[in-house]
Structure 1
């Protein structure tokens, strides 16, 4: 059986992203530092954050508290929507907050170039294609090792990849993925284009029907595993990296106990075929629509 806690996925740049990471979205400021420290000391080597989360400084403190050398840790952060026309400034801000010289992966957080003076509007004469033109300049600086996108569906990926200015194919597309949001068409599209997918909200959420699903609970009981462990294994066996969020030490540890067992192909398929559909992250808060329901 694969040792998933040490597994990596090779990106189109040749870089190797750890299969399992710690997500930090919606983690309370007082809890993030300790969660990052605990995760790294437990063996995690991938930490995911974003400028928009407002916790990069605490994430950086947690990294330093862990005692794990910087070069052993994969750090992902993201460009916030109102910063699309200031990519260099966005990188500088994140590096300063994190207290590091470089990040391993820098993502366009959303395909929405928001006006910083009015978050309900888009920047005039700007879009994510222009943002990507600026993103493509980053790897040369050494301050960003790999670049990618987040929350990009097939429609927006087509716009980006088919634009003549697109010289670098995104290394990663970080998207919501769990059995109630499996997005098989989007996964297949990204695979065909050489884009690795990282699954966020991979455990669903407290409002998700997932934890009431009899198929999931039955599989978890049969395996002697928690439903959360089964969900993470489902994501890994689909070829995606996973970044479960937790601030509880025992759960952080439990989510990392993924070595020495796997789901059968039938169990993976059963979870992939759950009838319910649920998205944790929607696009109603953005000035434009970014999800079109065509990725299933």
Structure 2
């Protein structure tokens, strides 16, 4: 196996302060069966070191199989899974089942997939903190939470999530939301980077043509310049590799500002 590319990382706020999350990972939503296992294995073989799954994806066993088949040591892979909102109150049982399916004794990041019943639910967040402190999880966070809900968790427990995984793309760009997360020490992790992007936007097409890359690669490079974690999903080997090639795509400050303008005003 060749030396993997150096994917940039972001430090997550944890009690130990030693958790670094790769900014680029492989998403596995809607990846099913052997297809999911093959995608994870291929991604790890070509240099990915971050894989995102969830209990709700019903593919944790296949993600675990792909990890095992890749031969990449467990401690070199950043592994994320998520608690379904209807599992609030059954946090320990749900996590233990995730670990069994994934074939590991811990995950690197565990997220509350959606606010249970639309509420912040500090009791679930406290259970996350307890299981993290037991060593079953290295870092904890949320997904699809508002800033107000994050503040509710912070007020109730004194600890904000390390990560908030939310829909993110140039169309979603909002400097105020970026600033609100940064002020609370919360890393933004974006999902659906392509589905939510207008790939016909002139600025994206112009930059892609000028740099000899795809519009999708420009979008991923924009995420990395903002240090927003991004997890494009694919089961196609060529596309998995192309997404990783974004590490060689350079965007100037002016390029980034032009792309930012596709989103909401500051």
Report how far residue 127 of structure 1 moved.
5.5
**Distance between the aligned counterparts of 1:188 and 1:33, measured in 2?**
37
Residue in 1 aligned with 2:158?
A: 167
Cα distance in structure 1, aligned partners of 2:214 and 2:222 = 13
Describe the shift of the 1:153–1:145 C-alpha distance in structure 2 as closer, same or farther (beyond 3 A). same
CA drift of 1:112 comes to 2.1
**Residues 7 and 18, structure 1, Cα contact 8 Å, conserved in 2:** yes
Structure 2 Cα separation of the partners of residues 153 and 271 of structure 1: 24
Counterpart of 1:202? Answer: 193
Is there any run of 5+ residues in structure 2 with no aligned partner, and where? none
Q: Distance in 1 between matches of 2:79 and 2:88?
A: 20
Structure 1 partner of 2:260: 272
Structure 1: stretches of 5+ with no match in the other structure: 114-121, 278-294
The match for 1:177 is 168
SS in 2 for 1:225: coil
The answer to whether 1:99 aligns with 2:92 is no
1:142 has 2:143 as partner: no
Structure 1 residue 93: deviation in Å?
Answer: 1.2
**TM-score normalized by structure 2?**
0.92
Equivalence for 1:236: 224
Matches within 5 A, 1:258-269: 258-269=246-257
Distance in 2, matches of 1:40 and 1:200, equals 20
1:84 to 2:88 alignment: yes
TM-score by length of 1: 0.83
CA contact 2:36–2:63 (8 Å) conserved in 1: yes
Greater CA drift, 91-100 or 176-185: 176-185
- The answer to whether the aligner puts 1:41 opposite 2:45 as a matched pair is yes
Q: Which has the higher contact order (CA 8 A, sep 6+)?
A: 1
| Number of matched pairs | 260
Where does residue 152 of structure 1 map in the other structure?
A: 145
User: d(CA) in 2 for partners of 1:19 and 1:28?
Assistant: 24
1:189 to 169, 180, 185: 180
Partner Cα distance (2:190, 2:112) in 1: 15
Greater fraction of residues in helix:
2
SS in 1 for 2:247: coil
Runs of 4+ in 1 over 4 A off after TM superposition: none
Q: Does 2:207 align with 1:219? A: yes
Q: Tell me the equivalent position of 1:245.
A: 233
Report Cα offsets for 1:179-211 as digits up to 9, x if no partner.
1112332221111111111111122x1xx4611
